[in-house]
Structure 1
Amino acid sequence: MPSLTIHRPAFLAVFLSIIAISLQLAAPSSIYHELEANQSCRCTAFNSSCWPSAQSWQDFNRSIDGRLIALSPPASPCHDPNFNAQACRTAQQRWGFPFWRADQPGAMQASNWEALGRFTCLINSPRNSTCFQGSVATYAVNATESRHIQAAIALAQARNLRIVIKNTGHDYLGRSTAPGALMIWTHNLREIVYHEKFAPMGCTIRAEDPPAMTIGAGIQWEDLYAAAFNRNHVVVGGGSSSVGGAGGNPMGAGHGPLSPLHGLAADNVLELKLVTADGRLIVANRCQNRDLYWALRGGGGGTFGVVVSLTHRLYPPLTNIVYASYSFMASSRRAFRDLLVKFTELHPSLERAGWSGVFAMSNVTALSMTYLLPNRNVSFANATLAPLERFAQSSGSSIQLNASLQNFPSFQQWHLVIQCGGAPDCRELNSSTTQSLATAGIPLLLASRLIPRATIQSSPNATADAFIAIQDRFPLVSITGIFVAGGSVSRPRNNAVNPAWRRALWHVILGISWMELGDLEEERIAARNVSAANQFLVDLTPGSGAYGNEGDFNEPRWQRTFFGASYPRLLAIKRRADPAGMFRCRHCVGSEIWSEDLNCPAGIAQEDQPLVSSF
């Protein structure tokens, strides 16, 4: 391997007085009074007195087979002194494409998490404009073996370094990066192993042991969908196939189009192999390390250890899939409200029929839905959706409907045709192709709420009014409904998944973007607006919760909202597994004892504040 080239950034004499979006974290609970009160602040690249020397980094790099990367922002090739015309063109062409971003260790899917306040690196700014490091971590260990991860943790322990964990960067709370940190990049742990019958390690072999696939932490759903199909199976995965199949998605809960049929991704995890805070490589399943096995299925990624591999249960192939694409346009506000009420009222019967999918609304006039019905035929699908068609017809000209139903013989064919635009693999798409992959390369903030079945059944009018109020008050906030709860998701499991998922029928996501990355006032307004919009859904659903992976960065009651009744047990497991807080991230279990930047114990100022760096 070539020797590591270390680029020394020029440090500006500007203290970090700005963070991307900020509100006070919840006050530390009294349960923490005994916890590591004397912990010092983490060492970051901005503190030369503790940060390893260039020679130390070279020695460490040799010890891990040359896998250390000096990180830079994804737009760095478009700026001096690192300008590279070909690399810059590639970055500009692929900027909004999630698979390309996943392959860049310094990139996040939402570009605001690459910025540190107004300090960022813009893709289309002049070549001679400053490219700031922003929130991009300083170094990454490009792990291809578990020992690389163990070495990174050993170094972090010895030098008190801040650690972050990243695979694809599909994180909307900025948890996969931190300024001045050492990143463990798991994206190139790429093994896939098929098991005709999987007995977890240390467990007695049973006749009912299911087929399964063990995947390395870097495998994305795109890879796993194809591998399962090639073995004549399906797997419960995400709607966006560029998301990692062994990281924060299944560990946080993980929803997808097959969830109503087979449960959440977390419900189908049979085993995990991980490196713990003390550097041990362990296995967690129903027979060993059972507390961690419980916590890692719903308690969130980046919290209890670094996952090296994960085993997913497989299911028999689908016999048929009906895909419905419906688009409604209302001529008046009243007609639109009536449509929303009818649409809401129909969903308990759609749940019973087995539908799942995505709906979206805009401008108090338009509603679209793209739904999936497995193991049923077109005749059955038509009958279940007929009430919507009859409603539109009975409105006269008040509601226009464009509807289509398509039949697919397999989940994989549906995925390739509908989600990949007919390409043989979603990686072959470009960012301008119409597809259902996650939006990438733009600043983006989300908030979300799990809408209980009881609310949909008893309060369709109030539900419609909440959506309309959001559109009226916050026209720049998008509303996307993910109809992936209900069905098998409703069945309680012995894992840490937020209990609100078991009562929900919809997962509603609110999103907002803004024009200029680095415009702090616009960003603050966007953050306030998406939180205020989400309050309408909170008021509609008292006692419910949200999906933490797509939750509000400024959620004030995040322990209850993201984890529900699971939180006390998760906190106890965290204290045992990682008492010193090696693994910490925003709104992750135990994070309330740390400062806003997560580098210091709460209430303790860091003497050496990070300086802003540029290339």
Structure 2
Amino acid sequence: MDAAQLVLGGLSVASAGYCLPTQACWPPLDAWAALNSTLDGRLVRPDGPLPCVQPSCSDADWRIEQPSGLMFLNFEDGFGLLPDESMQTATAAPVEPPLMTSGDRTPAYVLQAQSDSDVAHGVAFAREHHLRLRVKNTGHDYLGRSSDPGSFTIWTHALNETRFEPEFVPAGAPEGTTPHMALVVGAGTIVKGVYEAADKAGVIVAGGVSKTVGAGGGYVLGGGHGPLAPLLGLAADNVLEFTAVTANGTIVHCSPYQNPSLFTALRGGGSAFAVVTSVAFKAHGPPSGFVGIFGSFGLRDGANATGDSGKGAWKEVVKRWIDLQPRLSDAGSFAGYSYIRRPEETPFAYILPSANVTSAKEVFRPFFKAAMDDPDLDVQFRFVVRKTWYELWHGTFTESLESLDAVGIPLLLGGRLVPRDVVEQKSDELATFLAESPSPAILHLVSGRAVSDEPDFPSSVNPAWRHTLLHIDLPVSWPSAAPLSTVHHLSSYLTSHTLTLGRIASSLGHPQASYASESNYYEEEWQHVWHGEENYGRLLEAKKEWDPEGVFSARKAVGSEIFGW
């Protein structure tokens, strides 16, 4: 008996699915008008997928301001997304599958929330009418879970206020609890806003790498890794308190001392329990400076990429790069990103939260020297030192990666968390996989050190993070005009490619695991791969406690195998 069956008895499985616009149960126009009046006119009816007109189509800042806008086109129009027949179990509520050809996955209505009470009104309305409720922040969504055909979306982007509290005490804490510095951010606050507010307060906080990611939304609910994670831990582990709207439309505070089961579930368990409206992140004193290491490596112009010499040099440099990662983690709270993409050069951007540039140079020197000594290779690198994290991140760091963070394109991801012992003992297999991969791979050194530590209070992030060293993403994209057969071929390839990486990552006995927010849309064993088997059982118990009717749903979110989506 699996975890879903064990807790099924306490959940109210819907027999008719969620109500869609084509069905008689859909709320009449006067009901929508009454809701719109309550919201002072902030209910929007989207006009289908956004027109992809350049330069706005590929502008993330433009896309986050659109009520129904998502970052990736296939999740707006549904082109090429295969239906989930295997997900329609005997207990799942029947729902319409995504469209297989070009269509419309945008919501029927969008509620532009400007306050916690707006969110509460929206949740209560969705519950009363059993609507397919979705929550969207910035649309940085690699799984398409913030929009679906016929859905009712609560858009939290305008909930973006920030405040620094030098002595924050979580709700419900007993008298005498030691206060902590905190940055309280609205759910709609993007990474850029979080880092700006922290810099102004003279502190640092855990956050993401891309400036338009919603730091107080799906990012933290999925766990939240980033360039400061090896120093500070995952974003979810740094949460002191959430303010959220529960399934019955109640605004609550949850912390280790008040509504602790909801607090734990939201710390990495996803969006299936409540709508978060604000987050109090633990704030930390900064180091004396930050070192940035930027550059690229690859085959030299004129080198024969298909000849024995070129192929050998390429695989060897990839292996040396992999072997470097645990040494970096041992030497300090290094974090970084590298885009391995044969036959093009591999750009990288790394940081060391320290002003000690000499230390950074010493650990990177053997790799750079070996690459420079190989006549088939070209390597470029530079070290920069900045006083504050915001200065480095907003400047050279973002500039070095921004062109690689494309939006306004169709995109699917696969990925796996790779344990440290696998990186150390199976570097040959990893190097072969990465060097011979026909599609790009993104290496994230965003774990180890603080991420490996159990947090002060229980968290629901995938337990695999505690022994992970590398998070590897496997992106695939295609031209918007590509035929359906091409998209389906790439989808099948991505699943196979992801499982191949997973076999390497699990070769020393670890279960296959991935970062839930950046995973394969077609992952079959998603409950265990994204969350961990025992952890998923605990999350279902939290679903039973906080949302027994399935008000909050999404494709492959906790409980979706019970309620449908």
Kindly state the Cα deviation for residue 95 of structure 1 after the two structures are TM-superposed. Answer: 1.1
TM, length-normalised to structure 2: 0.89
- The aligned counterpart of 2:59 is 97
Moved more, 438-447 or 509-518: 509-518
* Alpha-carbon distance in structure 2 between the residues aligned to 1:63 and 1:393: 66
- The aligned counterpart of 2:69 is 107
- The aligned counterpart of 1:559 is 527
Change (3 A) 1:240 1:437: farther
Q: Partner amino acid for 2:43? A: L
Change (3 A) 1:74 1:135: closer
- The aligned counterpart of 1:510 is 474
Change (3 A) 1:436 1:263: farther
- The aligned counterpart of 1:444 is 411
Gaps of 5+ in 2: 82-100, 304-309
Indicate whether 1:382 and 2:361 are aligned: yes
Q: Partner amino acid for 1:231? A: A
Change (3 A) 1:325 1:112: same
Indicate whether 1:492 and 2:454 are aligned: yes
Indicate whether 1:575 and 2:554 are aligned: no
* Alpha-carbon distance in structure 1 between the residues aligned to 2:67 and 2:359: 46
* Alpha-carbon distance in structure 1 between the residues aligned to 2:160 and 2:347: 37
- The aligned counterpart of 2:170 is 200
What is the RMSD of the two structures over their aligned residues, measured on CA atoms? 2.2
Q: Partner amino acid for 1:270? A: L
* Alpha-carbon distance in structure 1 between the residues aligned to 2:176 and 2:237: 19
* Alpha-carbon distance in structure 2 between the residues aligned to 1:401 and 1:410: 27
SS at match of 1:196: strand
SS at match of 1:92: coil
SS at match of 2:180: coil
* Alpha-carbon distance in structure 2 between the residues aligned to 1:292 and 1:434: 36
Q: Are the counterparts in 2 of residues 336 and 365 from structure 1 also a CA contact under 8 Å?
A: no
Q: Partner amino acid for 1:241? A: K
- The aligned counterpart of 1:454 is 421
Change (3 A) 1:420 1:370: closer
Change (3 A) 1:377 1:37: closer
- The aligned counterpart of 1:180 is 150
* Alpha-carbon distance in structure 1 between the residues aligned to 2:202 and 2:445: 26
* Alpha-carbon distance in structure 2 between the residues aligned to 1:554 and 1:27: 20
Indicate whether 1:51 and 2:30 are aligned: no
Kindly state the Cα deviation for residue 208 of structure 1 after the two structures are TM-superposed. Answer: 4.0
Kindly state the Cα deviation for residue 366 of structure 1 after the two structures are TM-superposed. Answer: 3.6
SS at match of 1:270: strand
Q: Are the counterparts in 1 of residues 190 and 214 from structure 2 also a CA contact under 8 Å?
A: yes
Q: Deviations over 1:514-548 (max 9, x none)?
A: 11268432221121111111122111011141001
Kindly state the Cα deviation for residue 37 of structure 1 after the two structures are TM-superposed. Answer: 4.1
Kindly state the Cα deviation for residue 391 of structure 1 after the two structures are TM-superposed. Answer: 1.5
- The aligned counterpart of 1:546 is 514
Indicate whether 1:157 and 2:127 are aligned: yes
SS at match of 1:342: helix
Q: Spell out the pairing of 1:297-446 with structure 2 (5 A cutoff).
A: 297-301=267-271, 303-330=272-299, 331=303, 332-353=310-331, 354-363=333-342, 366-395=345-374, 397-421=375-399, 435=402, 438-446=405-413
Kindly state the Cα deviation for residue 288 of structure 1 after the two structures are TM-superposed. Answer: 0.8
Q: Deviations over 1:566-609 (max 9, x none)?
A: 111111111111111111112211111244xx2xxxxxxxxxxx
* Alpha-carbon distance in structure 2 between the residues aligned to 1:300 and 1:499: 14
- The aligned counterpart of 1:527 is 491
* Alpha-carbon distance in structure 2 between the residues aligned to 1:436 and 1:235: 25
SS at match of 2:529: helix
What percent identity do the matched residue pairs reach? 32
Q: Are the counterparts in 1 of residues 124 and 247 from structure 2 also a CA contact under 8 Å?
A: no
Change (3 A) 1:240 1:490: same
* Alpha-carbon distance in structure 2 between the residues aligned to 1:39 and 1:517: 39
* Alpha-carbon distance in structure 1 between the residues aligned to 2:189 and 2:40: 22
SS at match of 2:58: coil
- The aligned counterpart of 1:85 is none
* Alpha-carbon distance in structure 1 between the residues aligned to 2:446 and 2:524: 26
Change (3 A) 1:562 1:371: same
- The aligned counterpart of 1:40 is 16
Change (3 A) 1:118 1:362: closer
SS at match of 1:435: helix
- The aligned counterpart of 1:64 is 39
Kindly state the Cα deviation for residue 215 of structure 1 after the two structures are TM-superposed. Answer: 1.2
* Alpha-carbon distance in structure 1 between the residues aligned to 2:58 and 2:8: 45
- The aligned counterpart of 1:501 is 465
Which among 292, 304, 326 is matched to residue 262 of structure 2?
A: 292
Q: Deviations over 1:323-360 (max 9, x none)?
A: 11132223411111111222222221100222111011
- The aligned counterpart of 2:96 is none
* Alpha-carbon distance in structure 1 between the residues aligned to 2:401 and 2:218: 26
Q: Partner amino acid for 1:150? A: A
SS at match of 2:500: helix
Kindly state the Cα deviation for residue 246 of structure 1 after the two structures are TM-superposed. Answer: 0.9
* Alpha-carbon distance in structure 1 between the residues aligned to 2:173 and 2:7: 35
Q: Are the counterparts in 2 of residues 199 and 206 from structure 1 also a CA contact under 8 Å?
A: no
Q: Deviations over 1:51-99 (max 9, x none)?
A: 22222222221112111111123535x8xxxxxxxxxxxx532211112
Q: Are the counterparts in 2 of residues 239 and 437 from structure 1 also a CA contact under 8 Å?
A: no
Instruction: Work out the number of aligned pairs and report it.
Output: 528
Q: Partner amino acid for 1:107? A: G
Q: Are the counterparts in 1 of residues 80 and 102 from structure 2 also a CA contact under 8 Å?
A: no
Q: Are the counterparts in 1 of residues 7 and 544 from structure 2 also a CA contact under 8 Å?
A: no
Moved more, 50-59 or 171-180: 50-59
Kindly state the Cα deviation for residue 27 of structure 1 after the two structures are TM-superposed. Answer: 9.5
Q: Spell out the pairing of 1:204-243 with structure 2 (5 A cutoff).
A: 204=174, 206=176, 208-243=178-213
* Alpha-carbon distance in structure 1 between the residues aligned to 2:2 and 2:105: 25
Change (3 A) 1:144 1:335: same
Q: Are the counterparts in 1 of residues 204 and 283 from structure 2 also a CA contact under 8 Å?
A: yes
SS at match of 1:465: helix
* Alpha-carbon distance in structure 1 between the residues aligned to 2:177 and 2:550: 41
Which among 28, 50, 64 is matched to residue 75 of structure 1?
A: 50
Q: Are the counterparts in 1 of residues 13 and 563 from structure 2 also a CA contact under 8 Å?
A: no
Q: Deviations over 1:356-415 (max 9, x none)?
A: 1101112257433211111142211111111102322443x1322212111111111112
* Alpha-carbon distance in structure 2 between the residues aligned to 1:284 and 1:581: 20
* Alpha-carbon distance in structure 1 between the residues aligned to 2:119 and 2:404: 30
Change (3 A) 1:186 1:535: same
Q: Partner amino acid for 1:46? A: T
Q: Partner amino acid for 1:308? A: T
Q: Partner amino acid for 2:17? A: C
Q: Partner amino acid for 2:188? A: G
Q: Are the counterparts in 2 of residues 446 and 510 from structure 1 also a CA contact under 8 Å?
A: yes
Change (3 A) 1:141 1:132: farther
Kindly state the Cα deviation for residue 437 of structure 1 after the two structures are TM-superposed. Answer: 7.1
Q: Deviations over 1:277-317 (max 9, x none)?
A: 1111111101011111111101012x101111111111112
* Alpha-carbon distance in structure 2 between the residues aligned to 1:174 and 1:355: 32
Q: Partner amino acid for 2:444? A: I
TM, length-normalised to structure 1: 0.82
* Alpha-carbon distance in structure 2 between the residues aligned to 1:237 and 1:38: 37
